[in-house]
Structure 1
Amino acid sequence: MEELIPPTVPVPLSVLTDDPELGMRQVAGPEHPETLVYAVHTSEMADPLPYLLGGELLLSAGVHCPAAPDSTAGVATDSAVGTGVDSAAVPGQRDGDGSAEEHWKRYVTRSVEAGAAALGFGIAPVHDRVPAALVRACDRQGLPLVEVPEGTPFTAVARTVWQAITQRRHQALRRLSEAQRTLAAAAAGPNPVPAVLGQLAQRLDAWAVLLTADGRELTRAGSPPSEEVRSELAALTGRLRPGPSSVAADVGDLHLSVYGLGGRKPLALGVCAPHRGPVDGSIAAVAVVLLSLLTERRAVAVEEQRSAALVRLMLGAPVKEAARLLNGGQQRWVVVHGRRRGGRAGRSPAGDGNCSGDSGRTDDPFTAAALAAALGTTLVDLAGDELRALVPAGDGRVQPQQGWALGVSAPVPVEELGHGDAEAARALRRALAERRPVVRQRDGNTADVASLVAPEDGRALARARLAPLDGHPELVETLRMWLSLHGSWDRTAVALEVHRNTVRQRMARIGRLLGQDLTEQDVRMELWFALKWR
């Protein structure tokens, strides 16, 4: 009956049964899952089906079925006057208990067919208790039945429902408005596609993923479900129709939805959520519109410039001439090397002009696009966890990028890009060794010791040299502070907030554990680099 339910915000039946002023209680039917009520309708008609849309709490005092055979005539006459029901046409009004049983059975069946969410039975003036036959019929049909006590007007029940609906509608509109604002802000940011997916996952408490037409995952956000669920979600892309369309399915307690984004390169948005409501669908629709715009190729001028530069290079034009097409006339460039935090090197040694076999390829093209936008360049080579980029020197300083370590060369002319590439590689090694987000090579700067040692080798050396201090963090910190303050006992004591004799005792112990003479400058230098690499 879902298609018959009016477009409104429902409220749980427990809103009524938990209200002490109403005094209602459920006497039959299932209590779980929670019954949702979309409206309240009062009727004394024996057949409610023609008068319901679906989703209502149907209220009745049982006028259409008298409490006892000897009161049938009087009640039937009152019913006919008050409701327009022909007593002769109402089954069960001139029969005994067996006919009442059949009447309530038919009444509940017709209520279920009409899509009623629940029945509310009013005590008095006709019945002094809920008929046992009605309770049995509701239990058999799985229809919730609540008792409305004497003294609780049906209008009070309706008023409570509408107040709750109004409050929930206001909350839903506020939630939708807030989601629209944050999604739009994410789309306007420097990393739009992942940012929109992240906001969508947060707003829906879901897992959101961008899929190709064949179900391959491009980029994602949120806590991923099981591989089985991910496969089911990917399979739904095959059921999308050309153009804007959507497909949904349920897997256990999870609701899966896939929305086609269209465009020149068909993509789809997949959402895996533990629930699905009208507001959830509206929020997803906003994300679909934004992602459709973001994933459509719109940088036509940039593509033309890159194509023109490539054609000129292939036809033998000097690199300097082709470069002018790419950087707005700038004559100097900055080379950027990067590695994703936690990633492994996948290229050949920097500066040799060769990359690994998957150079220029990535499973996530939107990460490459986001990095290009953040760095201010379209010349980005992203292969797995490795990044290389050319940035026009006049576009400002390269800023840190979340999740990445970057090495930046000094500005160099086109003829010296190879030198800049080697500088950026050394700066990246230093950034990794010192766990810094960005290391910039200054003009005229030469390589330092940290940049000349591979991070893996530096960490191995640090582990070996400092192993005797494992399990003694106070000694490691004292050594670090003492070396940074050029061996000053007093300043080290002040920095560590300990007595200077404590510093002397710790340093003497460190010398014994390491088997080193800490007064020698070479020893101090090696320990300082070991602490940095550690």
Structure 2
Amino acid sequence: MDDTEQPTLRALFRRRDLGLGLISAEGDLAAGALDRPLRWVHSSDLADPTPFLAEDLALLTTGTQFDAGTRFDAGTDFDVYVGRLADRGVLGLGFGTDVHRAGIPEELILECARRGIPLFEVPYRTPFIAVARAHSEAIAAQAYARRSWALDTQRALALAALRPRGLDATVAELGRRLGVWVGMYDAAGALQLSHPRSAVSGGRLTELGERATEILTRGLEAGQSLTIDDQTFTLFTVGRGGHLRGVIALAVDALDAEARTVVTSVIAMAGLALEQSDQLARSKRRLNSQLLSSLLDDDPSLARKVLGGMPSAPVVVAIAADAPTGPFADWWDRRRAEHGTASFLAESPEGVVLCLSTADDALLDEVAARFGIRIGASGSESYDAFSRAHAQALAALRQQSGAGVFHFADAAGSSILSALATDEARLVAESRLAPLRDHDARSGGDLERSLRTWLEHDAKADPAAAALGVHRHTLRSRIAQAGALLGSDLSSFPARAELWALLQTARD
């Protein structure tokens, strides 16, 4: 901010040409009473001038309303008079001495002290208009200084934007010019820029990030205030409506018109910079999608030539479903840079495809937790088996029902029937078992359970019958009846194998 003296009572007292003298002891005044911004200086000798006053002004009077013969009573009416001024928000009372009376009424001095209102003397040689003119000059000087500050700040911000890391430099320059902490959160609610870096505690930064995420999720565009502990922040969104790209936060509770104009220009520059960055990112993602096709041919040479390198083998291929592509890619690039991790990212119809070295696959758990998404990950493979790794990741993803990472190794360790249990397979199994289940439902029979128990006992009647608690001839009769209903000769191994697959695949 600029160093121009603010228009306050204290500034008026410093004007030696006015000769104003503070009568009240500073210890009797309200906190900051002499340093609050003074809107205007007004004069009135009315017994009750408050209907014609605005708040945050200084009132000048010659005290004619206090003369003998008026309605004022020294015991009570001074209290009423000063009380009205205090309630109206008057910042100070100036008394013109030696105009109608020599000196200031003692009762007025006592009441102003009790109410904490600054009472000051305006000497006979100083006309009230001189006090009002001095204050108006201070207001004009401040306005000129603020406009000059704004123009100078705009030039400084424009120069900062031309530096190599223009957006970072612009945000830092804004913080320096305003004299406050400034931070910028990206579309994923992560802090990207902060100046000065250590001005705000980590807990407050986290809470600001959560609030920024909420604002971006709800699509709010207006500036909002947020108080954390005893510190107030003002938040502004970056980007056009329906396509918000981030939030700029300032550790300040209010901005005047000039400062708000400066902040608005930074928001516009940040939005333009992020939009250009977004266009470059989209172009990069389109290029990577084309390179993915060559990788799926198990040939990494084109990707290495275009990108200048790929993650070192062996690699893990992962597919992230339902990932918000822009924020996901931004977060991934930032974390990759922090870890010094080489990776490849591309969009595909199945989801976002990631390729990274096996040693770095812990990042997959972090990104799945950050965005609450499903990720299927392959086993460790070389580039000449990239297509196989991609197929493994896709198979793992299909078996992942909730947020998190599911590795193909976990899927490979389960039954082959579980891997084949797709929705289509379940429909076929339930259709083939329908005659059997309909019979059990109508007759209260137990053919399906009998078949399952029989097959679990290697199609041996005696142990299966014992497990069911029936005679072996009864079980054999049930097997024959079930075979007839299913149209299948259960004396052959292929028929028994198919029946077991149906029973394992169909829903109970």
Where on the TM-score scale, by shorter chain, does this alignment land: which range? 0.5 to 0.7
Q: Does 1:137 align with 2:111?
A: yes
C-alpha spacing 1:113/1:251, structure 2 compared with 1 (3 Å):
farther
C-alpha spacing 1:367/1:308, structure 2 compared with 1 (3 Å):
closer
Q: Does 1:287 align with 2:286?
A: no
Aligned to 1:247: 224
Q: Does 1:271 align with 2:250?
A: yes
- C-alpha contact 1:194 1:221 (8 A) present in aligned 2: no
Q: Which of the pair is proportionally richer in helix?
A: 2
1:153 is matched with which residue: 122, 127, 135? Answer: 127
Q: Please give the per-residue CA displacement for 1:132-182, whole angstroms capped at 9, x wherever unaligned.
A: 222222233332222212211111111211222222212211211122222
- C-alpha contact 1:218 1:364 (8 A) present in aligned 2: no
Q: Does 1:165 align with 2:139?
A: yes
Counterparts of 2:252 and 2:48, CA distance in 1: 39
Q: Does 1:204 align with 2:178?
A: yes
Q: Does 1:310 align with 2:310?
A: no
Aligned to 2:55: 54
- C-alpha contact 1:183 1:199 (8 A) present in aligned 2: yes
**1:236 Cα deviation (Å)?**
4.5
Aligned to 1:19: 15
Counterparts of 2:201 and 2:73, CA distance in 1: 59
Which runs of structure 2 are paired with 1:73-92 in the superposition (5 Å)?
none
Aligned to 1:259: 236
Which runs of structure 2 are paired with 1:267-416 in the superposition (5 Å)?
267-273=246-252, 277-296=256-275, 297-299=278-280, 302-303=283-284, 305-316=286-297, 352=313, 365=330, 382-386=336-340
- C-alpha contact 2:245 2:271 (8 A) present in aligned 1: no
**1:15 Cα deviation (Å)?**
1.0
Letter paired with 2:201: S
Q: Does 1:175 align with 2:149?
A: yes
Q: Does 1:224 align with 2:203?
A: no
Find the structure with the greater CA-based Rg: 2
Counterparts of 2:142 and 2:221, CA distance in 1: 30
- Stretches of structure 2 lacking an aligned partner (at least 5 in a row): 319-325, 345-382, 384-508
Q: Does 1:30 align with 2:29?
A: yes
- What is the RMSD computed on CA atoms of the aligned residues? 4.1
Counterparts of 2:94 and 2:237, CA distance in 1: 43
- C-alpha contact 1:37 1:56 (8 A) present in aligned 2: yes
Q: Please give the per-residue CA displacement for 1:361-400, whole angstroms capped at 9, x wherever unaligned.
A: 999949969xxxxxxxxxxx9431527699xxxxxxxxxx
C-alpha spacing 1:294/1:49, structure 2 compared with 1 (3 Å):
farther
Q: Please give the per-residue CA displacement for 1:230-249, whole angstroms capped at 9, x wherever unaligned.
A: 35544654774633112224
Q: Count residues in correspondence.
A: 323
Counterparts of 1:367 and 1:209, CA distance in 2: 20
- SS of 1:147's equivalent? strand
C-alpha spacing 1:253/1:171, structure 2 compared with 1 (3 Å):
farther
- Stretches of structure 1 lacking an aligned partner (at least 5 in a row): 1-8, 73-92, 327-332, 337-349, 370-380, 391-417, 419-534
Q: Please give the per-residue CA displacement for 1:413-468, whole angstroms capped at 9, x wherever unaligned.
A: xxxxx9xxxxxxxxxxxxxxxxxxxxxxxxxxxxxxxxxxxxxxxxxxxxxxxxxx
C-alpha spacing 1:311/1:385, structure 2 compared with 1 (3 Å):
closer
C-alpha spacing 1:214/1:39, structure 2 compared with 1 (3 Å):
farther
C-alpha spacing 1:234/1:178, structure 2 compared with 1 (3 Å):
same
Letter paired with 2:53: L
TM-score by length of 1: 0.51
TM-score by length of 2: 0.54
- C-alpha contact 2:234 2:253 (8 A) present in aligned 1: no
Identity of aligned residues (%): 22
